[in-house]
Structure 1
Amino acid sequence: MLEKQVIDGLEVFSCLSASDSGKTPLLFVHGAFAGGWMWTETFMPHFAAAGHPCHALSLRGHGGSSDHQRIDWLSIADYVDDVRKVIDALAVDPVLLGHSMGGFVVQKYLERYPARAVALLCSVPPQGLIAAQFHLLLQKPQLYLEINSILAGNYTDTDTLRDALFAGEADPAMLAEWLGKMQNESQRAIWDMSMFNLPNLFRMNRPPMLIVGAEQDALVPAFLVQSTAQTYGEPCHILRGMGHAITHEREWPRAAALIEDWLASLKP
């Protein structure tokens, strides 16, 4: 059953298994323009059914969390504080799973705190966003302009959303629902991810990592996911025929199964 609470101004969704299986708890960290809601329909119930207590926060300025009025001034360091605040309040030692910007937040988290293990899903690479931005500008200039328009707080449409996030067919009703929930992102956080606050590899804790990308990801292309894997000396897993929103592609269970196998391989 999905539950929601507010922890010091932060919206936190929880989905717990029917019985205590003793399996590792999971904390999901969402990407830009989104909120904790992006995990609640697919990944959270899936992993809770497999016995993992699941939690997902909405970073400050996102979803049902506070500080929307300060969104453009919020930093990646603020988002790292949010993750730590939720972990402390829930008194859990979770595996961290970060998607897109959330993966970058998780990497910055490792500069300051240890973690049991982390999964970087279509994550902004440790080298930052600039290569991804230039790639998008060259490959899909209209989509690049549309995304910058969203950053400025302007409205978009479901066609743009589909082109940005999905490789295969996407349910129109789901796209419309996402469009109603998505929002502008912090300009400061975007600059942090571009060049001003990149992960310090020498300060990072290095827990077990799972690095996953999508073959047809327009926002974080597969070659950048491969670069992330090379940086951390980890295998790279590229999901064929999928786009950036691996949580909601029609074949999202393939992504979940990959994560589930990795979780099972971790030492207790």
Structure 2
Amino acid sequence: MSTSVVFIHGLWLHATSWQPWIDLFADRGYHAVAPGWPGDAETVEQTRANPDALAGHGIDDVVEHYARIIEALPAKPILIGHSFGGMIAQKLLGLDLGAAAVAVDAAQIKGVLPLPLSTLRSGFPVLGNPANKNRAVSLTEEQFRYAFGNAVSERESAELFARWSIPAPGKPLFEAAAANFNPRSPAKVNTANESRGPLLLIAGGRDHTVPEVVVRATLKQYRHSHAVTDIVDFPDKAHSLTIDSGWREVAETALTWLKGQNL
């Protein structure tokens, strides 16, 4: 029986943006799937046409959604998440619902203190208006360029925006922003879990949305667990690293690491 891999997208990208990864992992013998978040429609176009279906879903809603998907699988899957999907993957791993996890440019979990100016600017289209907490918000092409596509050409960034961008619920960003002031924050991850599967954190050195300093601060949150926690940095990549022309290098790195974990 092949090992399952569940890909989890983050804000502003549709689940189908994982298709090249799904094909690659399938070629390597994995059973790979990329279910959308609650409210996601089957296609980018359909999701854009009904943004209200995404509105109001928070971190706990997304975790519960993927937990139900995982429960239907024959065994614990490998979890691979990008951005907020990386946070969700860590939460699921901390709940012992994954065999391993790869968190790519993962959103800040509770306890991570660095808050770079570029992160604030990337989140401003949502956080700049408190009413957005219960709305779904779209990025403009210019905002996408800053938050995702700053390490690729302007043309490629525009193509990625046109192909994959969708509205995103504002609630997870507000929850993450308030995490360190809320003892019951949904952004809290069980980082002290000794029995969890191995975790790989991946950072992009040019990422505006989740800068490398945030990923390294996340690594420190796991210092009280002896479970495997590794980190890889791609100095020249930004937040689009899972979908842009350099995606395969990142995917191959994840595959090599998984092989090293006998997964």
TM-score, with structure 1 as normaliser: 0.77
Q: Is 1:100–1:121's contact at 8 Å kept on the other side of the alignment?
A: yes
Partner of 2:190: 201
TM superposition shift of 1:211: 0.7
Partner of 1:213: 203
TM superposition shift of 1:104: 1.2
Q: Partner of 2:80: helix, strand, or coil? A: strand
Does residue 252 (structure 1) correspond to residue 238 (structure 2)? The answer is: no
TM superposition shift of 1:114: 3.5
Amino acid at match of 1:239: F
Q: Distance in 2 between matches of 1:130 and 1:191?
A: 15
Q: Partner of 1:84: helix, strand, or coil? A: helix
TM superposition shift of 1:98: 1.1
Q: Is 2:191–2:222's contact at 8 Å kept on the other side of the alignment?
A: no
Does residue 39 (structure 1) correspond to residue 28 (structure 2)? The answer is: no
Does residue 237 (structure 1) correspond to residue 227 (structure 2)? The answer is: no
Greater relative CO, 1 or 2 (CA 8 Å, sep 6+)? 2
Runs of 5+ consecutive residues of structure 1 not aligned to the other structure: 1-21
Q: Is 1:132–1:220's contact at 8 Å kept on the other side of the alignment?
A: no
TM superposition shift of 1:81: 1.2
User: Which has the larger displacement, 156-165 or 222-231?
Assistant: 156-165
Q: Distance in 2 between matches of 1:207 and 1:110?
A: 7
From the superposition, tell whether residues 227 and 131 of structure 1 become closer, same or farther in structure 2 (CA, over 3 Å).
closer
TM superposition shift of 1:118: 0.7
1:44-87 alpha-carbon deviations (Å, 9 max, x no partner): 11111122110111010223399964634322111111111112
Q: Is 1:95–1:116's contact at 8 Å kept on the other side of the alignment?
A: yes
Q: Distance in 1 between matches of 2:138 and 2:91?
A: 30
Q: Distance in 1 between matches of 2:32 and 2:105?
A: 20
1:150-203 alpha-carbon deviations (Å, 9 max, x no partner): 956555432321221021225243332224xx113142x223222132324367
From the superposition, tell whether residues 128 and 161 of structure 1 become closer, same or farther in structure 2 (CA, over 3 Å).
farther
Matched length = 239
Amino acid at match of 1:238: D
Runs of 5+ consecutive residues of structure 2 not aligned to the other structure: 180-184, 224-228
Does residue 29 (structure 1) correspond to residue 41 (structure 2)? The answer is: no
Q: Distance in 2 between matches of 1:34 and 1:202?
A: 27
Amino acid at match of 1:263: L
Q: Is 2:119–2:208's contact at 8 Å kept on the other side of the alignment?
A: yes
CA RMSD of aligned residues (A): 2.9
